[in-house]
A and B are shown apart, each in its own frame.
Chain A
Amino acid sequence: MLGLYLLAMVLLPLAGFFVARSRAGAIVATHGAAVHSRPNYHGLLTAAVGFLPMLAVLVVVGPTVAKYAVSTGLSHFPAEQIADPTARGALMRDMISLSRGDHAGGAGDALRAASAAFATASRLGGWLVLVLGVVAGAVGAWLAIRRIDVDFRARNHFERIVKYVLLLAATVAVLTTVGIVLSVAFETMQFFSKVPPLDFLFGLEWSPQTAIRADQVGSSGAFGIVPLVTGTLLITVIAMFIAGPIGLFAAIYMAEYASPRVRGIAKPILEILAGVPTVVLGFFAALTVAPIIRQIGQMAGLSVASESALAAGLVMGMMIIPFVSSLSDDVINAVPQSLRDGSYALGATKSETIERVVLPAALPGIVSAMMLAISRAIGETMIVVMAAGLAANLTFNPLEAVTTFTVQIKTILVGDQEFDSAKTLAAFALGFVLFFFTLFLNVIAMKIVKKYREQYD
C-alpha cells in the first residue's frame, strides 16, 4: 500500500510537470520571450504543488489511519491484555505478522479475528489515504496549470516554495531538540511523581526495582543517583587524566615542533584513532585491557575487579585523545605568530614561549576543548557498557567496578519494558540529567570560545 502511494507521489507530480511544461511551451511559441517564466518553471511549480499536498496527506493522515487500524485489530483482545504495554506490543507484532502471512507458531481465535480486522482496516485505510492523496495532489496540480499564462510569475512562486521547504529542513534541527526535550521531560515528570526528586538527586543507593504485580509493596527500589554520579566522575577523571596531557602535548608538538613529514604521519594516526567505533574500543577494553590490568594488579598484590573503572577509563581516555588534540591544535594555531616572535626576540626558548605566551593566550580555547572532551566522556556508552560494571558502587577506588549513567540507561531500557514502571521512567530521568548536564557543559564551552575569538578580531 505504501509502495503504491510512493509510486503515485512520483508519477502524479511528474505528469503535472510535463503537462504544465508543454502548456507553457505552447504559450512561448505564441508570445516568445515576453513570457515571464521559462516553461520548466511552470512545470516545476505544478509538480511541487502536486507533490506537497500528497506528502502532507501521507504524513498527517497516514499515521492516524495506521493507528486506527491497529486499535481496531487490538480491540478483539480482552481489555486487560492490551492495557499492559509490553503485552500490547507483543500482540500487535503477532497480529501484524499473521496478517502478512509470516507468523510462526499457532494462532488463537482472538488473534485470527484481530489480524483479520487489522488487515481489513489497514487496506481500507490505505485506499482512503491513496484516494485523498491523489485527489489533493491533482487539485493542487490543476490549480497551477490553470494559472499558466504569459505574465504568470511561476518561477517566483516556485522559488518561494523552495525557500520554505529549505526553511522547514532547517527547522528539523530545532524539532529534534524539542523532540528530545519533550520525550525525556515528559517521562521524567512522570518519574518524579513516583519518586521524589530529592531522593533521586541525593539518594546514596541505586537499585532500580520494578513491582511485578501492582499490589507488590516495598519493591519500589532505590533510585538515588549519587553512586552513578561518582562512578561517572571516576571514569571521566581517569579518562581526562590520560587524554588531557597526552592530547595537549600531542597538539603542542604538532603545532610548534613537528616537521611537515612528522605532521603528515601523526595527523592520519590521530584521525584513524578518532574513527574507531566505540564498540571496538569496548571490545578491546573488556577482553584485553581489563584482564591485563587485573593480572598486573594481582602480581602487585592488589585486588582488581574484572571490570575495573581503570580499564574503562584508560581506554576512554585514549578514545578522547584525538578530540582534545584536534581542538587544541586549532586554538594553538590561532595564536598569532607576532606574539611568538615577540617572545623569541626577548631571548626565550621555544618551550618557554609556549609555556608563558602561547598556552596562556590559548587557554580559553584549551579549557573549552577540555570541557567538550569531558562532555564526550560523560555521554559515552559502549566502552563503559562493555568494560565497566553494573554494580552501583559508591567508591573512588579505580580498581573497583563502578557504573555510570549511560550503562544504567542502556541496561534498563534494553529488553522488554513497561512504560509506567518507576524503573523504566528512571532511565528517562537519567537521560534528562545527562542531556541537560552535557548541554550545560557544551554551552559554556562554546561561550568561552566565542569570547576568546573576540579577543583576536
Chain B
Amino acid sequence: MDAHVDNTTRNIVDTKPKVTARDVNVYYGEKHALKNVSIDVPERSVMAFIGPSGCGKSTFLRCINRMNDTIPICRVTGEIKVDDRDIHDPKLDVVQLRARIGMVFQKPNPFPKSIWDNVAYGPRLHGLATSKADLDAIVEDSLTKAGLWKEVKDRLQDSGTGLSGGQQQRLCIARAIAVDPEVILMDEPCSALDPIATAHIEELIDHLRSRFTIIIVTHSMQQASRVSQRTAFFHLGNLVEEGSTEQIFTNPHETRTQDYITGRFG
C-alpha cells in the first residue's frame, strides 16, 4: 500500500529533521523499486531501515547521497532534502553533497593503499588539509573515533587490505568520518563480520551518534533494536511504518510490520 509516516512522536532532540524525503520513487528501467516514500530523519540519532531482502531499503539509502546516479538505468523522482536543501537542485554539487554524507558499505572496501592513505583520501580530495602534519592529525583523530587507532598506530603504512574484516570495516568508518560529514549512511555494515567485530561496530555506532546523524540498513532486527532510536520498516518498495524503535518492536501499528518482526516472513 502507500507509505505511512508517523513522526509525531519524537523521543530524541526535538529539532528540525536532518534528512527529509517526500514522495520518492525509484525506477530501475521498467522495475518500480521504491514507491512514494516519505520520511523524516532526526539529527544526531540512529535510524534503522529494516525489511526483507529486496524491499528497497538499500535503494532508498543510496538515494540520500545520490549514489544511484552512478547506475545509468536508475531513475529517481521526488524530493529529498538535507538540512532543508534539495539535494537534486541543479545548483548543488553532488561531489560536495557526498562529502557531507558518508557511506559505509556491506562488504568492507578499503582501497589497496596504506591505512594512512585510506583515511587521508577524503581530506586530501576536498582540500581539507594539505600539510602532512594536518593530515596526520586528521588521520589520528578519525582512527581514534573509529576505535582503531590503538591497533594500527604503529603500522599506518601497512596496506589497508591486510587487516581483518572487522578492522577493515572500522577503517572504512574512519575513512568516512575523516571529512567530518554530517550524516553517515551504513548499508548492512556488519553482515560480513563475525559477532565480536559486530559488537565492536555497534558500540562504535552508539558513540558516533552524539556527533553524526546515522541511518543504518540492517536485516537483523536484534541489531536494529540494539542500536537505533527510530526504525522504519520497508516492504516491497513501500515504507510501511516508521516510529520509535521501542514502539515498532513492541507495538507495531501495521499488520505487516507485526508479521515481519514475529518472523512470519523475511
Contact = CB atoms under 8 A, between A and B. Distances in A.
B64 to A, nearest CB: 11
Given A360-B113, A361-B111, A361-B112, A346 B121 contact: yes
Interface stretch (B9-17, B93-101, B132-140, B204-212): B93-101
Interface stretch (A50-58, A190-198, A337-345): A337-345
Interface string B173-190: 001100100000000000
A356 B109 contact: no
Contact of B109 (A338, A349, A455): A338
- Residue among A336, A344, A360 with the highest chain B CB neighbour number at 10 A: A344
Contact of B98 (A338, A346, A455): A346
Contacts of B33: none
A352 interface: yes
A338 B125 CA distance: 19
A175 interface: no
A339 B153 CA distance: 24
Contact of B97 (A341, A347, A361, A455): A347
A347 B113 CA distance: 18
Nearest to B123: A346
B125 A357 contact: no
Contact of B111 (A339, A344, A347, A349): A339
Interface in B86-137: 95-99, 102-103, 105, 107, 109-113, 121-122, 125-126
Nearest to B104: A345
Contacts of B112: 339, 360-361, 455
Contacts, number: 64
User: Interface majority SS on A: helix, strand, loop or mixed?
Assistant: helix
Nearest to A338: B109
A48 B161 CA distance: 57
A352 B125 contact: yes
Q: Could you say which interface size class chain B belongs to?
A: 20 to 34
A34 interface: no
A427 B167 CA distance: 60
A233 B253 CA distance: 77
A363 to B, nearest CB: 9
Given A347-B99, A349-B95, A338 B111 contact: no
Interface in A319-359: 336, 338-349, 352, 356-357
Contacts of A455: 112, 161
B205 to A, nearest CB: 17
B95 A357 contact: no
A455 B160 CA distance: 12
- Residue among B99, B103, B111, B113 with the highest chain A CB neighbour number at 10 A: B111
Q: Could you say which interface size class chain A belongs to?
A: 10 to 19
B187 to A, nearest CB: 10
Nearest to A340: B70
A346 B110 CA distance: 12
Nearest to B107: A338
- Residue among A341, A342, A348 with the highest chain B CB neighbour number at 10 A: A342
Contacts of A342: 103, 105, 109-111, 172, 175
B67 interface: yes
B20 interface: no
B121 A356 contact: yes
Interface of A: 336, 338-349, 352, 356-357, 360-361, 455
Interface of B: 65, 67, 70, 95-99, 102-103, 105, 107, 109-113, 121-122, 125-126, 161, 172, 175-176, 179
13 contacts: A336-B109, A338-B107, A338-B109, A339-B111, A341-B67, A341-B70, A342-B103, A342-B111, A343-B111, A344-B98, A345-B105, A348-B95, A349-B95
Given A338-B107, A360-B112, 19 more contacts: A339-B109, A339-B111, A339-B112, A340-B70, A341-B105, A342-B172, A345-B98, A345-B102, A346-B99, A346-B102, A346-B122, A346-B175, A346-B176, A347-B96, A347-B98, A347-B126, A349-B95, A357-B111, A455-B161
